[in-house]
Amino acid sequence: MTLSADEATQQPITSDQQVLERVDELIGKAVRRQLWLLFIDEQDRQIPLVIPMADYPAAPYNNNAELLAARIAEVVEKTGAAQVIVVWERRLRATTTEADRAWARELAAACADADVSIRAQLISHRDGTRWFAPDDYL
């Protein structure tokens, strides 16, 4: 089922399963290495803004995660978003890599410092999408 932009903004995303389904509908299987940001309002509805970002740095260190979190905070402020869904797209298997875990861990910490609430982190991999729980990267 294809979800229209109007439907996406009207249907609340209240459960983890609904987050996974929405990401699967919008992003699906990985095509390239990039980061996706989806924004959720206070009523758990998706804001009609999806940001793909190719060419993000290989590692989150040297202030890279903090700079990204600062940009995300700017978008959150301008859109009135309450939460962000982060999707790490890469053409590998579903199993996480050290780079995946480092980025997820460092971005989560940097977003917390920037007062940005991350609703979820997921991985888009070559076979589909999967949940990326804090237990997987902390």
- pLDDT tens string 59-69: 999 999 999 99
- pLDDT tens string 26-49: 999 999 999 999 999 999 999 999
Note the pLDDT of residue 1. Answer: 56
Q: Which of 53, 68, 50 is nearest to 104 (CA)?
A: 68
Give the chain's mean pLDDT: 96
Q: What CATH number has the domain bearing residue 11? A: 3.40.140.10
- In this prediction, residue 76 has a pLDDT band, given cuts at 50, 70 and 90, of very high
Q: Which domain holds residue 10?
A: 5-137
